Structure 1
Amino acid sequence: MKKVGGNGAGEREKESRFNRRAVKVEEAQRRTLAAADGLVLGSEFVPLRAAGGRRLAQTIVATCDWPPFARSGLDGYAVRAADIAAATPEHSAMLRVVDAVAAGGLALAAVQKGTAVRIMTGAAVPEGADAVVMLEQTAEALLDGGAPAVLIKHAGAAGQHIAPQGEEFRLGGALAVPGTLVRPGHVALLGTFGYAEVAVQKRPRVAVFATGSELLPVGAALAPGRIRDSNSCMVAAMIEQSGAEPIVWGSLPDEPQAIEAALASAWNTADLIVTTGGVSVGDYDVMADLFRAIKNGSSFQTMERNSNTTDVLTEGGYSTASYNRAATEVLFDRVAMRPGSPTSAAVIGGKLLFALSGNPGACFVGFELFVRPALLRIQGVMEALPRKVTAKLLTAVDKPSPHDRFVRTRLVSDSDGSLLADPLAFSKSSMMASIAEAEGLAVIPSGPKGAETGAVIEVILIP
């Protein structure tokens, strides 16, 4: 960070560090999605077998009626319902069998009065037939002269056990819209309607790095005063879960030059950047320095190359490569929430940068509220915000807060089927013990008392 001379300058620096206006979570999400709307990456075609887990980039429509013909729902006999209207086990209806048809074949003979066709599951119903009788309700027989026949032991109605043409889908009907997550069931539909290749949204490439001179690689032995960088891998897993591709840089020291190099490289290779740590108001919170410099406009006043781009030269010594000034702004640098109030976001050179808290719990919450929705929106998902349900608090959350609190919780049902939110222990911002068990984030409204047992609250569902 830039040195300042004199007590007056030092006081101004201290004051500016704390001068971060908190925005509501909903407003921060609105700004995030608005920025993400301009970052759609386009589409690519992939083989159907590789489409699972991707987001559609096209509307999928039925290329024919489905079923494409009236087909039998089971093994039995195709008949005219009028011929078996009075059939009972004691007075069976005898019909002459004129043909047999399997799935994939067509009957050569039509069903006429007094006749039947042996039919297998999935086969096309012969002309003239309007019902299928299951095999268990029949018995083989012979007519005088030895011709094959069948005894029908139960009456049947027109349409029974027949799937009519177009029962599930009609030609041209929409099957799925852009932004839909392709699940195995979608793959089956796509294959049914002949989609050998599918247009899907390109995966956003997300650079991930953690700031903190105290951080060690995951495989390193612990040392006094040092901890392992677990945030980078956690965030990378959440990025993959969101359908994007993480590029993990690992940890960086609290040095402007290291951050400079990482940002410069990331902007050349990634579509979006997520950092953890360095966003608070400490003397070594380098990401906070960067955001403050952008807000103050000092990042874009020198080293101009042309009318559209400028090298970044911040108070902290950053000098990353040529960004578009018109596409650079701080979206927010403080959010009215606990944990993770220092969470920050900016658009720099037309690319999104999220700076999450270094505390694991706050990092986790910040990702769910802001980063995941942005990644989904970039992949064409219009309903990108996390899903919410209503639940009753199983145990009280007594801690007061000036901002809405997001408490990791599990979800259970009581005897009458009502949904209950059971707040987890070890849910402080710096704690990670409850992250793996969390099924949702209980939203505890701001206030002096928290929320009592039995209070009805919203719970944000965790994928």
Structure 2
Amino acid sequence: MLTVDEQRAKVIAATRPLDAESVPIAQAAGRVLAATAHARVDVPLFDNSAMDGYAALFSDVEAATAENPVELEVIADLPAGSADEPELSRGRAARIMTGAPVPPTATVVVPFEHTRDGLRTWDAPAVVITAPFREGANIRRRGEELRAGDVVAAAGVTLGPLQLTAIAATGTDTVRVHRRPRVAVISTGSELAAPGADLTRGQIPESNSVLLAALCAEAGAEVVSVDTVTDEDAAFAALVDRALDDARADVVVTSGGVSAGAHEVVKNVLRDRIEFVAVAMQPGRPQAFGRLADALVFGLPGNPASVAASFEAFVRPALLALQGRAGVQRPMLRLATTAAWSSPAGRQQYVPLTLDRSDPAAWSVRPAAADGSSGAHLAAGLARADAYAVVPADVSAVAVGDLVDVMLLS
């Protein structure tokens, strides 16, 4: 059997970032930068006030105290957005609001709370009762955070709200991002019935297409088709052709039909076109992967727990690599478990976990399944999972209190 790392390495080696496109930053949330974003303007763009108060000369107010206040004549009122540039001479000040341009001759801003009576009508004298701690206090200088041309965010970064606002603050309105991968999802099995349908003997509710479509969308992909098909070779082959030709999919993800049974439709149709292997993992041992035309094709097992674990191990890293992501692995922690379980010898185990975050200094985990088990057939327990334990192949048992490698899902 291949190890998980060996199979993942084959997947990543076959994956190349998709083409880049320019999009407005208002449409770029969740996208991955294809080109480094540089500041278009200095940040701040001009010397501006960090406080609501009075712009003044430091030499006028450096000795001010409550016992020996300094009174200044106020000659201007400067709200944010003002273009005025009053010239301050000795004994004169300008009332100024946070973010407003500082007069060129001002050398300090005195906050309202360091004056007597604080905020007053703008043309009343300012009475300073607390001296600034240094010249230049409360003035944000032009370019002190970034200069035009400086790097704001590097290629490979996923654009969240914080990254987008930083880019916008530097005067940039468009970014170069990788195209979202187009994904076709195909769930196979003659036993599958639509959720909510009346079930006859031998049928089960179909859930893998729901799972895979949601996982792909969460990973930044554009899901272009979602289908369920019986174990008929011709019907499955037609869906694959449609995904490649009509939907122009970059990735096709199937579930079911890859094992050693008599009605393995994915293997029957694609055995000569992609590779079918056994991977030393539990759940998720049977896997298929390859390329058809320009598309990556993943054949995952049929049980929902196997589908979910296989997606995390192989499909999600590929989707992120297609988008040019700098890192393609989920965050990992080492946490103590409050439950014990066994692990199959020689296979890397993925156990859905429930995280206990009630103590911020000592998170702990336990299996999400009600009985603490981790079989491939388990599906209902996934509703309680917010992480996976990734148990190495050389570990056969996990005891209460053991530290385990935990892959965070949220």
TM-score, with length taken from structure 2? 0.91
Asked if structure 2 preserves the Cα contact closer than 8 Å seen for 1:217 and 1:250, the reply is no
Structure 1 residue corresponding to 2:8, chosen from 14, 18, 29? 29
Flag the structure with larger Rg: 1
Q: Within 5 Å, which residues of 2 pair with 1:291-310?
A: 292-294=271-273
Summarize deviations over 1:203-225 as a string: whole Å, max 9, x none: 11111011101111234222221
Residue matched to 1:342: 286
Residue matched to 2:129: 153
Structure 2 residue corresponding to 1:450, chosen from 382, 397, 402? 397
Structure 2 residue corresponding to 1:171, chosen from 138, 148, 164? 148
- Which range is displaced more, 432-441 or 188-197? 188-197
Stretches of structure 1 lacking an aligned partner (at least 5 in a row): 1-21, 142-146, 295-328
Asked if structure 2 preserves the Cα contact closer than 8 Å seen for 1:368 and 1:462, the reply is no
- Which range is displaced more, 218-227 or 284-293? 284-293
Q: Within 5 Å, which residues of 2 pair with 1:258-297?
A: 258-268=235-245, 269=247, 270-290=249-269, 292-294=271-273
Residue matched to 2:27: 50
Deviation at 1:375, TM superposition (A): 0.5
TM-score, with length taken from structure 1? 0.81
C-alpha RMSD over aligned residues: 2.1
Asked if structure 2 preserves the Cα contact closer than 8 Å seen for 1:78 and 1:118, the reply is yes
Q: 1:448 to 1:173 in 2, by over 3 A?
A: closer
Asked if structure 1 preserves the Cα contact closer than 8 Å seen for 2:282 and 2:344, the reply is no
Query: How many angstroms apart in 2 are the aligned matches of 1:166 and 1:423?
Result: 51
Residue matched to 1:235: 212
Residue matched to 1:307: none
Q: 1:447 to 1:192 in 2, by over 3 A?
A: closer
Summarize deviations over 1:75-122 as a string: whole Å, max 9, x none: 110112222122111210122222221211234322222221111111
Residue matched to 1:325: none
Query: How many angstroms apart in 1 are the aligned matches of 2:204 and 2:117?
Result: 79
2:298 maps to 1:378: no
Summarize deviations over 1:289-337 as a string: whole Å, max 9, x none: 345434xxxxxxxxxxxxxxxxxxxxxxxxxxxxxxxxxx53x622110
Query: How many angstroms apart in 2 are the aligned matches of 1:132 and 1:448?
Result: 64
Residue matched to 2:368: 424
Partner SS state of residue 116, structure 2: strand
Query: How many angstroms apart in 2 are the aligned matches of 1:334 and 1:181?
Result: 33
Summarize deviations over 1:56-82 as a string: whole Å, max 9, x none: 222111111100111111211011222
Query: How many angstroms apart in 2 are the aligned matches of 1:447 and 1:41?
Result: 37
Asked if structure 1 preserves the Cα contact closer than 8 Å seen for 2:250 and 2:294, the reply is no
How many residues are matched?
A: 400
**Superposed structure 1 runs of 4+ greater than 4 Å apart:** 413-416
Query: How many angstroms apart in 2 are the aligned matches of 1:448 and 1:166?
Result: 55
Partner SS state of residue 409, structure 1: strand
Deviation at 1:259, TM superposition (A): 1.7
Residue matched to 2:301: 357
Stretches of structure 2 lacking an aligned partner (at least 5 in a row): none
Residue matched to 2:332: 388
Query: How many angstroms apart in 2 are the aligned matches of 1:413 and 1:246?
Result: 33
Deviation at 1:228, TM superposition (A): 1.9
Deviation at 1:379, TM superposition (A): 0.5
Specify the code of the residue in structure 1 equivalent to 2:325.
V
- Which range is displaced more, 224-233 or 181-190? 181-190
2:104 maps to 1:127: yes
Partner SS state of residue 383, structure 2: coil
Query: How many angstroms apart in 2 are the aligned matches of 1:187 and 1:448?
Result: 43
Residue matched to 2:177: 200
Structure 2 residue corresponding to 1:408, chosen from 341, 352, 370? 352
